[in-house]
Structure 1
Amino acid sequence: MQKIFVIEDDENIRNLVKIALEGYGYQVLSFETAEEALELAGKEKPDLAVFDLMLPGMDGLSAIRLIRGREDEIKNIPIIVLTAKDKEYDKVVGLDGGADDYITKPFGVLELAARIRSLLRRAAEQQPVHETGKIKMGGLSVDPAAREVVMNGEPVSLTYKEYELLMYLIDNRTRVVERDELLNKLWDYSADIETRTLDIHIRTLRQKLGEEGSRYIKTIRSVGYRFVIPQENENKEN
């Protein structure tokens, strides 16, 4: 049985989410504070966590950053953030802080369950796609077995979804990958729902890759994105 942590200070929402997710067959541990969840994370080893951003004591964003900075397997669990703020800035901050997806309050439990299923399925299906060793492209190096990314000798800390997005673009670098395809393949929901999710992930992925991020991940206007190797494309149009 897959285990989910739900960290939400509103008791009504916390209980509603717990009951709903248990109805889908998950084991759910709910917490009012981030401190409580972090204290038990190593022992309970959740498969996924749902964090409210606004929490008493330690806020959700700080807690997520601590999880991503761990040295054990907990650092790579999928994380969904809940936020009452329907502003792009808060979504960017959540994703850039280490979350893999977000849902804005008020939300439906059916949507939350769908997002959870998608992230858990992708995490279970994720296998090293290049068994021959590291991928080396210009200044970018990827070790799929260790899920490690290095740019110009510096390690790059990516969330689960950012890493998955990067690898999908790399694997399909011989063509332009359409937006709809990325949404359907990586998020499993239709392109007319929260399409800004993809834009935000592309933006944060580029930022984390540094100054060369936009040279590796090209926007093809009105179509989608393509991964290119800058050294081989210095004279091509952006």
Structure 2
Amino acid sequence: MSLHYPRVLRIHSAGPTTPGITATAGQPPVPARHRDHGIVVNAEQRTITSGGRPLALTFMEFELLAHLVAHPLRVYSRHQLLATVWSQEAIVSVRTVDVHVARLRRKLGPDRRDLISTVRQIGYRFAPRNAPPATTR
């Protein structure tokens, strides 16, 4: 009897799913660094530091925060985050996103928890403090 785990196979065959990594032939990937708001994402080493201190993140917390940091100011619905960060096959509730965001905010600490902002009735976005204000048309 053989067990088949498509999510595990896809992760191992595709490599890291974290965006923001660039590489050239013969050189290691360049980690995505976002210093303007005190968060440094190193996708190669799978570490994130906030204000110089490393964050102890679970696999999915790392994936979610790295994804949001790589796309600042972009608003993602909970369903979009489930499809992008979690797999399409994952059977989870949209509340899973809320729980992970709450954990990330707690781990970021009181001085940086507001970097992940809630967009009412839509979802979440990563909003660096020095970003220009959003405009509406």
TM-score class normalised by the smaller sequence: 0.7 to 0.9
Does the CA contact (< 8 Å) of 2:117 and 2:125 recur in 1? Answer: yes
Identify if the C-alpha distance between structure 1 residues 189 and 213 changes in structure 2 by more than 3 Å, giving closer, same or farther.
farther
Name the counterpart of 2:81. 182
Larger helix fraction of residues? 1
Q: Secondary structure at the match of 1:225?
A: strand
**Counterparts in 2 of 1:120 and 1:207: CA distance versus 1, 3 Å:** farther
TM-score normalised according to structure 1 size: 0.45
2:21 aligns to what SS in structure 1? coil
Equivalent pairs: percent with the same residue? 31
RMSD: 2.8
Match of 2:11 among 122, 127, 140: 122
Task: State how far apart, in whole Å, the 1-side matches of 2:17 and 2:123 are.
Answer: 25
Task: Give distance in 1, aligned partners of 2:101 and 2:91.
Answer: 17
Q: Is the alpha carbon distance of 1:213 and 1:164 closer, same or farther for their aligned partners in structure 2, counting shifts above 3 Å? A: same
Which amino acid in the other structure matches residue 222 of structure 1?
Q
Alignment of 1:49-128 (within 5 A): 116-122=5-11, 124-126=14-16
Point out which structure has higher relative CO (alpha carbons under 8 A, 6+ apart): 2
- By percentage of residues, which structure has more strand? 1
Q: Which residue of 1 aligns with 2:25?
A: none
Distance 2:46 2:72 in 1: 19
Tell me the matched-pair count.
Answer: 124
Partners of 2:96 and 2:116 in 1: CA distance: 16
1:169 has 2:68 as partner: yes
Cα pair 1:179 1:223 within 8 Å, conserved: yes
Mapping 1:146-225, distance limit 5 Å: 146-189=45-88, 193-225=92-124
**Structure 2: tracts of 5 or more residues without a match:** 23-29
SS of structure 1 residue aligned to 2:113: helix
- TM-score in terms of structure 2 length: 0.73
**Alignment partner, residue 41 of structure 1:** none
Cα offset, 1:125, TM superposition:
2.9
The runs of 5 or more residues in structure 1 that have no matched partner are 1-18, 25-115
Other structure's SS at 1:203 match: helix
**Higher Cα radius of gyration:** 1
Give the partner amino acid of 2:128. I
What is aligned with 1:51? none
Return the alpha-carbon distance in structure 1 between the equivalents of residues 9 and 90 of structure 2.
20
